[in-house]
């Protein structure tokens, strides 16, 4: 095998959708050969950039691009303390770029390196949100006309605090600013919304909902059981990672399919859940668990326990990261569904080769490697932006700070 080494590792931050995306470019000793990876932790992107530029880059210049597993293990272990979102995202950027290079050297799309396609298209789901049931229904109809058959339904995003449909919440004097929500109002609003969707739109549409880990254990159980009547495709992130053991009780008392994992960063968070079959879908964010190398192993692990994949695919994920997930979607027998936020024209300009979606299915272009490129000149037109962090400062009605 011809020796090819890492010549340089570069990091770019670009915001073609007003969201800061972190892209890693691994350049090699072979002229014109490079790989791209996603390292987007948009809420702490500067820390990720520093970790790559100051620690990973000096460590790996001159190393062989062929030894992905060894390089991944070295990145994970070399900081001693491990499995945190900043370092995992830094690792992911390099790891995915190395897989991109591997595919280009083989002249194959990455899914071919994993054994080839299990399906031709990738079923995706979109998000329908709004400030009223009417707005949500309008968005659902729009997606259905575009061919989508799976839709995640919300009202007021993650908290039930939306205008025109509920009473105003009461806060104590001098309550600090924050993203306030009422658990009780939130639950009631979702039940009403789902009842209306089934009554007005029917039962042919697959619907899901994201609790976003915002309820107490007792409220979660009561809420999920009440949602059973609407036959959701799944309920997402019912509990926080710190309380995954409670899924044992949840699983025993509801038949609703459960999806979990958006905030996972460490194998101890998912191993017991999967082995005990307390969940039906694994929803990790690939860059937050360290990239494609650990995600392949996780998908195979889940397959043994009949847990399907539903990788996290928000708008704070670069097209490189989305395409990487879709290669796993194509090659995994236990693929379930893929979250998809869509791309705007600026993203497609910066990232030539974006996956295309037609009638609810995503398709890759079968180019070698990941198949998505990166236009550095176009990216420079969309520099990092000051983002709105307000939704992350969640509070209960009385002002108590809680996790979003």
Strand pairing report for 394-395 and 401-402: antiparallel
Q: How far apart are CA 300 and CA 22, in angstroms?
A: 27
Tokens of 226: 């009440």
Tokens of 277: 């079959």
Place of tokens 């050969």: 33
Does 158 participate in catalysis according to the annotation?
yes
Neighbours of 32 (CB within 10 A): 7
Alpha helices in 201-314 (DSSP H): 217-227, 247-253, 267-275, 292-303
Tokens of 331: 């090659």
Strand partners, 127: 152
For residue 129, which of 341, 319, 336, 360 has the smallest C-alpha distance? 341
Strand partners, 150: 206
Place of tokens 């915001």: 15
Q: How far apart are CA 214 and CA 47, in angstroms?
A: 27
Does 212 participate in catalysis according to the annotation?
yes
Q: How far apart are CA 85 and CA 89, in angstroms?
A: 6
First to last CA, the chain: 49
CA Rg, the chain, in Å? 21
Give phi and psi for 102, each to the nearest 5: -60, -45
Place of tokens 């192993």: 297
Place of tokens 């995994």: 332
Q: What angle do CA 99, 123, 110 make, to 5 degrees?
A: 15
Which helix (H) or strand (E) covers residue 125, if one does? Answer: strand 122-128
Q: Which of 158, 180, 181, 382 is catalytic?
A: 158
Q: Which of 212, 285, 312, 327 is catalytic?
A: 212
Residues 401 and 393 sit within 8 Å (Cβ to Cβ): yes
For residue 394, which of 259, 265, 215, 263 has the smallest C-alpha distance? 215
Tokens of 372: 């998505």
- The residues carrying an active-site annotation are 158, 212
């Amino acid at each position: 095998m011809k020796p090819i080494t890492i010549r340089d590792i570069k990091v770019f931050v670009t915001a073609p959708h007003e969201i800061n995306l972190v892209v890693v470019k691994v350049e090699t000793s072979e002229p014109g050969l490079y790989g791209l990876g996603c390292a987007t932790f948009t809420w702490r992107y500067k820390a990720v950039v520093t970790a790559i530029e100051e620690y990973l880059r000096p460590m790996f210049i001159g190393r062989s691009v062929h030894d992905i597993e060894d390089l991944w293990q070295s990145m994970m272990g070399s900081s001693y303390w491990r499995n945190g979102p900043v370092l995992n995202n830094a690792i992911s950027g390099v790891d995915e770029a190395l897989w991109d290079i591997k595919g280009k050297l083989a002249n194959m799309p990455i899914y071919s390196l994993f054994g080839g396609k299990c399906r031709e298209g990738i079923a995706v789901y979109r998000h329908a949100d709004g400030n009223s049931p009417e707005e949500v229904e309008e968005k659902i109809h729009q997606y259905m006309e575009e061919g989508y058959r799976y839709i995640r339904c919300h009202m007021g995003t993650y908290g039930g605090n939306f205008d025109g449909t509920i009473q105003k919440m009461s806060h104590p004097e001098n309550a600090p600013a924050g993203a306030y929500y009422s658990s009780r109002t939130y639950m009631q609003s979702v039940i009403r919304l789902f009842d209306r969707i089934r009554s007005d739109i029917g039962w042919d549409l697959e619907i899901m909902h994201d609790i976003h880990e915002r309820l107490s254990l007792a409220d979660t159980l009561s809420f999920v059981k009440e949602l059973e009547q609407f036959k959701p495709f799944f309920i997402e992130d019912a509990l926080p990672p710190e309380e995954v053991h409670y899924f044992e009780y949840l699983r025993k008392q509801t038949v609703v399919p459960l999806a979990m994992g958006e905030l996972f960063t460490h194998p101890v968070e998912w191993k017991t859940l999967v082995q005990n079959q307390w969940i039906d879908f694994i929803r990790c964010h690939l860059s937050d668990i360290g990239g494609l190398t650990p995600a392949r192993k996780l998908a195979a692990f889940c397959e043994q326990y009949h847990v399907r994949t539903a990788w996290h695919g928000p708008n704070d994920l670069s097209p490189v990261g989305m395409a990487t997930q879709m290669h796993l979607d194509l090659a995994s027998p236990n693929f379930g569904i893929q979250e998809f936020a869509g791309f705007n024209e600026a993203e497609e300009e910066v990232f030539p080769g974006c996956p295309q979606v037609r009638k609810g299915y995503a398709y890759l272009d079968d180019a070698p490697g990941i198949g998505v490129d990166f236009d550095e000149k176009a990216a420079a037109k969309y520099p990092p932006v000051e983002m709105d962090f307000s939704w992350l400062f969640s509070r209960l009605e009385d002002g108590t700070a809680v996790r979003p």
